[in-house]
A = this chain, B = another copy of it.
Amino acid sequence: MTPPRDPGAPEDGDAARTPVLADVAERAGVSQQTVSRVVNGSPAVARRTRERVEQAIKELGYRPNAAARALVTRRSRRIGVVAASSALHGPAMTLLGVQEAAREAGYSVAVVMVRDLKPASVDEALTELRDQAVDGAVAIVPEDASQAAVAAAEATFPCVLAPGLDGAGVADAYWGEVAAAREVTAHLLQLGHETVHHLAGPPDWAESRSRATGWRTALVEAGRRVPPPVRGDWTAASGYLGGQRLLAAGASAVFVANDHMAIGVVRAVVDGGLCVPGDVSVVGFDDVPEAAYLNPPLTTVHQDFAQIGRRCVHLLLGRLTDRVVDVGGLNPRLVVRASTAAPPSSPPRTGPSVAAGEVPPQVRTPSSA
């Protein structure tokens, strides 16, 4: 396309060609190296020279070529993200946080969305990212087998897993959810429900397990019967189905593992001719933006997903530069709205009749237990 340039003849009146370092150098009357130094903010350039070069850069509209730079420096200042191609609120928000944090740090982001969470798909995505020469990757793949795949890739390629932080760190996210789920359940018990049913997420998601664990713990602590949990797949449709089964089981209080399924549960209750919260109390998890405006407004647990994304990026960047970074903590918190109330027959008990009774009726503060 472009006619071959004669490297000998220092042409200059050439037609519009995107300018390169050499063009700037020529215009400013300095060497390429000096221009490079200016572009990269090296201090070893005299004030006057720097100004001249900057002027030339501006006049020519020069922009450094990322490929050439990546080729020689072996770093691209780009990080990759592998995310499940779902419309789930949590992952989507996390991705957003990743974007923001990366941008702030001067990194760009390459995203690969995977259709499913099979280890093979995740592996492939990671490989693609590696081929694209990203410096590291964040994996938003909240399913066990795929997390294992990421952990394996770790050995040869810096990557961090969705909730951020390994070992103690992931535990921090996990136990935060457990505590919140426990608080939800205690809240329901506090209202006078004899027990609380649970509509869980898919079994191989850590989020399913943490929420179920918190629920179970609260029930056991209170010495209540633990009804068998029903499973959904995070969608409203599965929530509807699960809701019907829960209704058949005579549930008066249901803790649903996410808001979307909770919407389905509410619908099932209403279709069953009952009321929320009059006959059945429903609590969700995640606090989607619409939760406060649903009918009824949904009691749920607020999570800052974007913060999770940010934290992952900081962690990754810290690892890339061998710096230890201080990543902010997460704390999911119960938000009580109008989808929970005392059960139909028995009035709400007053006083600390519930074992986990340290949770006040209207909890809005960060969980602590």
Contact partners of A87 in chain B: CB under 8 A: 89, 92-93, 96, 289
A113 x B100 contact (CB < 8 A):
yes
Contact partners of A66 in chain B: CB under 8 A: 67, 131-133
Contact partners of A67 in chain B: CB under 8 A: 66-68, 70-71, 76, 133
Is A32 an interface residue when CB atoms closer than 8 A count as contact? no
Cα–Cα, bound, A128→B109 (Å): 11
B76 x A99 contact (CB < 8 A):
no
Cα–Cα, bound, A237→B289 (Å): 9
10 contacts between A and B (CB under 8 A): A63-B130, A63-B131, A66-B132, A85-B96, A87-B92, A96-B113, A103-B112, A110-B111, A264-B290, A264-B293
B111 x A111 contact (CB < 8 A):
yes
Q: Which residue of B lies closest to A125 (CB)?
A: B103
Cα–Cα, bound, A64→B108 (Å): 21
Which residues of A from 37 to 63 have beta carbons under 8 Å from B? 63
Q: List the interface of chain A (C-beta within 8 A of B).
A: 63-68, 70-71, 76, 78, 85, 87, 89, 92-93, 96, 99-100, 103, 108-113, 115, 127-128, 130-133, 235-237, 239-240, 260, 263-264, 266-267, 270, 289-290, 292-295, 297
Q: Which residue of B lies closest to A70 (CB)?
A: B67
Cα–Cα, bound, A96→B86 (Å): 8
Contact partners of A92 in chain B: CB under 8 A: 87, 92
Q: Which residue of B lies closest to A291 (CB)?
A: B236
Cα–Cα, bound, A360→B181 (Å): 48
Give, as a whole number of angstroms, the nearest-CB distance from A20 to chain B.
Answer: 11
B112 x A237 contact (CB < 8 A):
no
> A64, A93, A132, A237 — which one has the most chain B CB atoms within 10 A of its CB?
A132
Contact partners of A76 in chain B: CB under 8 A: 67
Contact partners of A112 in chain B: CB under 8 A: 99, 103, 108-109
Apart from the given pairs A236-B292, A236-B293, A267-B294, 20 other A-B contacts in the complex at a CB distance below 8 Å: A63-B130, A65-B71, A66-B67, A66-B131, A67-B133, A71-B71, A78-B132, A85-B99, A87-B93, A87-B96, A109-B110, A110-B111, A111-B111, A237-B292, A260-B289, A263-B290, A266-B295, A267-B293, A270-B295, A294-B294
Q: Which residue of B lies closest to A259 (CB)?
A: B290
Cα–Cα, bound, A260→B291 (Å): 10
Cα–Cα, bound, A99→B267 (Å): 33
Contact partners of A110 in chain B: CB under 8 A: 78, 108-111
Give, as a whole number of angstroms, the nearest-CB distance from A130 to chain B.
Answer: 7
Contact partners of A237 in chain B: CB under 8 A: 292-293
B111 x A109 contact (CB < 8 A):
yes
Contact partners of A295 in chain B: CB under 8 A: 266-267, 270, 294-295
Give, as a whole number of angstroms, the nearest-CB distance from A335 to chain B.
Answer: 15
Contact partners of A78 in chain B: CB under 8 A: 110, 132
Give, as a whole number of angstroms, the nearest-CB distance from A254 to chain B.
Answer: 15
Cα–Cα, bound, A304→B320 (Å): 40
Cα–Cα, bound, A87→B93 (Å): 7
Contact partners of A127 in chain B: CB under 8 A: 63
Q: Known contacts A113-B99, A263-B294; is A108 also within 8 Å of B85 by CB?
A: no
Contact partners of A99 in chain B: CB under 8 A: 85, 111-113
Q: CB < 8 Å: which of B71, B239, B292 contacts A293?
A: B239
Cα–Cα, bound, A232→B64 (Å): 43
